[in-house]
Amino acid sequence: MVQKYVYRGVEWIDLDSPTYEEVATVARERNLNRVLAEELTKPSLKPKVDLYRDHLYLVLHFPAIRQSHTGPSNQEIDFIIGKDFIITTHYDTVDPLHEFSKIFEVNAILERSDFGEHAGYIFYYMLKHIYKGTENELESIKEKLETIEAGIFSGKERQMVERISHLGRDILAIKGALRPHQQILDSLTLAAVKFFGKDFEYPMHSITNEYFRINNEIAHASELMNELRETNNTLVSTHQNEIMQQLSVIAFIALPIGLVLTLFQIDTVSKPIVGTEGDFWIILSTVVAMALLLYSFAKAKKWL
């Protein structure tokens, strides 16, 4: 699907899971070379930056844990940025990009905002909005961390083991998606300043600072998750040790009682107590008294 927006002579063409024919049409309209057009027809495995004579080509992957519509944890966006146009290509509905299209469309109609004099500035605002979507993903993770923390200290440490594992997977997915961004943004800054001029250096540094801020938030969330995992593992281990200790005490009490009862079952000519009046109650009382004595001993030793 192809969506087109125009703002003060700058055109934004958004390709959502485009067909080969749609890509070919846009490539003819914007005079894109054949190799680049081929790249837009399928996802790329790695991010990249290329500088052409009339445009920049950029591939970035963004984490999409909460916002993904098809299941993958990463969403790819290809950017082709010229002086008076920008082309975005993606293969899943990218919520932050969709939200930006609504903002851009309204401002294009009302001409209320100033997106800048060329497509580079539209890319700048677009990328900042997409990073805002990543920040929303992190806010969702922080809320889950708070829920896990409450669960750990309310006696639900066993249930939290699986939730911590799932959350750890989500944080690793975000880290993996954003890890190449620093190198790509550094290369993009050099290419963009060369393409758009020295004045575009500040917007690119602003985008890089936004990335570092989000990266610090990821590091903080990862550190907090690791601390919660260690605390939870300690509590689970302590609880298991308490159970093993209780079972050991039960065995300590049951073993002597079982031995006494076994002695009364030996087939001998003479059996003490057995056969006398009230023999069952005498044996039962003896067993209960032994159990109470051994239980008291265990309590005195603080085994329970």
d(CA 201, CA 15): 28
In b/e form, how buried is each residue of 163-200, taking b as 16+ CB within 10 angstroms? Answer: bbeebeebbebbeebbeebeebbebbbebbbebbeeeb
Q: What is the pLDDT of residue 105?
A: 76
- pTM of whole model > 0.85? no
Residue 81, helix vs strand vs coil: strand
User: What are 97-131's pLDDT values in tens digits?
Assistant: 888 878 777 766 656 666 667 878 888 888 888 88
For the stretch 140-198, pLDDT in tens is 888 888 888 888 787 777 778 888 888 888 888 888 888 888 888 888 888 888 888 88
Per the listing, tokens 């903002």 go with 103
SS3 track for 246-279: HHHHHHHHHHHHHHHHHHHCCCCCCCCCCCCCCH
Neighbours of 83 (CB within 10 A): 14
Residue with tokens 């030793």: 301
The region of weakest confidence among 1-5, 167-171, 254-258 is: 254-258
Number of Cα atoms under 13 Å in the Cβ half of residue 9: 5
Judge contact between 225 and 174, C-beta under 8 A.
no
Q: What is the pLDDT of residues 14-54, one digit of tens each?
A: 888 888 888 888 888 888 888 888 888 888 888 888 888 88
Alpha carbon of 244 to those of 157, 224, 234: distances in Å?
Answer: 17, 30, 15
Torsion-angle region of residue 155: left (phi > 0), alpha (psi -120 to 50) or beta? left
- SS3 (DSSP) at 213: helix
Q: Which residues contact 79 (CB under 8 A, 6 or more apart)?
A: 56, 57, 58, 59, 60, 86, 87, 88, 123
